[in-house]
Structure 1
Amino acid sequence: MERKKVYLLFSGGLDSIIAAKLLKDLGFEVIGVHITSPFFQKNLEDLKNLAKELGINLEFIEAGDDYLEMLKNPVYGYGKNINPCIDCKAYMLRKIKELAKGNIIATGEVLGQRPMSQHLDAFRKIEKLSGLKGKVLRPLSAKLLPQTVYEEEGIVKKEELLDLKGRSRKRYPEILEKLKINLENLPTPAGGCLLTEPIYAKKVKDLMAHDELTWENVKLLKIGRHFRIGDCKLIIGRNREENRFLRKHKKEEDCVLWTPSIPGPTALLRCKKTPESSFLKIAAEIVARYSDAKDRPSVEVAVEKNDKLIDRLTVKPNFNTEEFSIR
């Protein structure tokens, strides 16, 4: 008899590990599904190794432009920063639904563990928004939750599942021992969503405010210092690695700024149209501010476009960046 498949939303955190092992031990073929995006900080190779240790298959789904559209206007709003937790979880489950094709869909959610997205009302909203009413199995808290269609149909027995609730981890050692989970590097509970971080959230809001929320621009948010000069975005590298990254990811219309006669950062100036001369001067002054020219009365900043030098500006290095900083 062919084993029933379970498509499990797999973050790689402790809860999804327990859910995967529990379902596998109950005889299901477990396929972990991990949604990838620059907002979620997970090493994909580590996840592959983890899945191998657990003996489960692993699929990756990349968040698309539809995720960014959801982020702009989530049905159930944001958390403390710009984290649309309910809409985000519904988005992930919709993607899994496309993959699962009628098989069981599960998550490692624990009732009461997260204030915005892991309570009974939130679970109902997530299922409604994803089109999966009664079709999301949460094995870690199943004994405390309404029956799913899988339990009603006898595919899963509620008594074989768990009754975890809240943020306490006191019962976890016992559960890990019972399930014989003995991984070489046991992770902590999942987290790491950059949208929950205040400074990062301000950068995302800035992109939204200027209609620049694209994955290409999002990938630059973790790099360097960020400034807004009119309708232009200035990103200044903080080290050699970031300087190289900015040069590698420049577009044809971008300007690259650097200090040719003194050690300093590389900066990327991205504008919707040719930058005004005043904007270019401000950008040069900010670049000079982060160079090694702090004790000099002036410093030369080179401006390059399409790998061609287009200007050299002599500016003062003691510029006050506060007005333009995004943080």
Structure 2
Amino acid sequence: MRVAVRARSRYPAWIMNERYDALSLFSGGLDSLLAHKLIQRQGLRVLGLHFVSPFFGKPHLLDHWRATYGVDVVPVDVGEAYVRMLERGPAHGLGSALNPCVDCKILMLAHAKTLLAQHGARFLVSGEVVGQRPMSQRRDALNAIRRDADVKNLLLRPLSALVLEPTPMEESGLVDRSRLLNAAGRGRAKQLALAAEMGITEIPTPGGGCRLTEKEPSARYAPIFRHRPSPSAHDFLLANTGRQFWSGPHWLAVGRDQADNERLAALVREDDIVLDLSELPSPLAVLRLHPDARGTVQEDALVADAAAFAASYSPKARRAGGPVRVDVTRGGQTRVIEVSPSRNTPANWREPTWAEAEAWKKERAPVA
């Protein structure tokens, strides 16, 4: 299987004319940092690629990593490509939640390969360690990743190089194999010793921080795949924000605090309906109706229902003891309706659960 990936790379201006010997997959974790530095200290120029999607990525730390660790690193947005991969079903399956760990690494390496020529780079670097992760770092999984990303002769895994077969980069002398590591298994003693040797005093926490490995955020994502036609990365950014509720195929996000309200406001799309109390402090709510309900009689009923439900999260609205006024904004046009705040409305708004996500996951599991 060959993987074609389209993604957006948001490079700072200073990077455009720089040339590098290698590109590394730079998550910001200790293993990716050490793999990057092992090649860098052989006198080779390495550019870190920090992949970003709604499910992972910490682009706000790029400047910190550059200053603290002395690495060149840039963000690479693979959000849309990642959603398409999840939507069609990962070829190598899902982990305990909705994590497609093997297909994730294939996607990133396949895209990194397309960037080699742009930077004059000759090979790729990854911080994978044989046997460290049960799904994606078994020896057979590492071989499948290398094969399916079509990077067999381009990928070097410096931390486990001495327990893997030599790569063309080592055989040619471009990389000194004797200066690489033989790490394997779940222990981190060798990595920590190498970090100390390199003078790295700020040790990144282990793990990539992927939301798809956790059941609570995964529960938020499954209804999108079930109910949204052709979901986009933007949909999952909304799912990461505030309280999440569904009524059949209709979706309501309600802010928990001012920071949530600001994030929700920034995520509003033209077809979204924004609900905000006219005269009282309240959470902002974004109603995203299924396309079939737009412009129908059902839409007015759903808007009023969602407004009543969202208003119930305003303590002052609940204490008002009667109807409250709600601004309903869509496409820049605002109207005002009156509703009585209530958590028990006909639409029966419900938070998504892992049990529902697990059922969806089983429905999509390949038939043995």
TM-score by length of 2: 0.80
Does residue 1:298 correspond to 2:322, yes or no?
A: yes
Which among 45, 64, 67 is matched to residue 29 of structure 1? Answer: 45
Which among 311, 314, 326 is matched to residue 288 of structure 1? Answer: 311
- Where does residue 338 of structure 2 map in the other structure? 313
Amino acid at match of 1:300: V
Deviations 1:22-65 (A, max 9, x none): 11222221111111222114143x32332344433223221152
| Counterpart Cα distance in 1 of 2:343 and 2:81 | 43
2:34, 2:191 within 8 Å by CA — same for their partners in 1?
A: no
- Displacement of 1:216: 1.8
TM-score by length of 1: 0.89
Q: Secondary structure at the match of 2:62?
A: helix
Distance 1:167 1:231, change over 3 A: same
Q: Secondary structure at the match of 2:241?
A: coil
% identical aligned pairs:
34
- Displacement of 1:242: 1.7
Amino acid at match of 2:323: V
Q: Which is worse superposed, 281-290 or 121-130? A: 281-290
Deviations 1:241-291 (A, max 9, x none): 222332333223222112234332111111222352332232123112211
| Counterpart Cα distance in 1 of 2:246 and 2:153 | 46
Larger helix proportion of the pair? 2
Q: Which is worse superposed, 245-254 or 96-105? A: 245-254
Does residue 1:276 correspond to 2:299, yes or no?
A: yes
2:247, 2:349 within 8 Å by CA — same for their partners in 1?
A: no
| Counterpart Cα distance in 1 of 2:302 and 2:314 | 19
- Displacement of 1:154: 3.4
1:288, 1:299 within 8 Å by CA — same for their partners in 2?
A: no
Q: Which is worse superposed, 77-86 or 243-252? A: 243-252
Which among 278, 282, 285 is matched to residue 260 of structure 1? Answer: 278
Which among 322, 338, 351 is matched to residue 325 of structure 1? Answer: 351
2:158, 2:180 within 8 Å by CA — same for their partners in 1?
A: yes
Distance 1:104 1:306, change over 3 A: closer
Q: CA RMSD, aligned part only?
A: 2.4
Q: Secondary structure at the match of 1:312?
A: strand
- Displacement of 1:18: 1.2
1:298, 1:317 within 8 Å by CA — same for their partners in 2?
A: no
| Counterpart Cα distance in 2 of 1:209 and 1:4 | 43
Does residue 1:182 correspond to 2:200, yes or no?
A: yes
- Where does residue 160 of structure 1 map in the other structure? 179
Q: Secondary structure at the match of 1:265?
A: coil
Q: Which is worse superposed, 77-86 or 226-235? A: 226-235
Provide structure 1 residue ranges, at least 5 long, that are not aligned to the other structure: none
Distance 1:301 1:74, change over 3 A: farther
Does residue 1:243 correspond to 2:261, yes or no?
A: yes
Does residue 1:224 correspond to 2:242, yes or no?
A: yes
1:287, 1:301 within 8 Å by CA — same for their partners in 2?
A: no
Provide structure 2 residue ranges, at least 5 long, that are not aligned to the other structure: 1-18, 354-368
Q: Secondary structure at the match of 1:181?
A: coil
Distance 1:124 1:165, change over 3 A: same
| Counterpart Cα distance in 1 of 2:78 and 2:112 | 12
Distance 1:291 1:150, change over 3 A: same
- Where does residue 231 of structure 2 map in the other structure? 213
- Displacement of 1:74: 1.1
1:204, 1:213 within 8 Å by CA — same for their partners in 2?
A: no
| Counterpart Cα distance in 1 of 2:70 and 2:288 | 46
Does residue 1:195 correspond to 2:249, yes or no?
A: no
Q: Secondary structure at the match of 2:73?
A: strand
- Displacement of 1:311: 4.1
Does residue 1:62 correspond to 2:77, yes or no?
A: yes
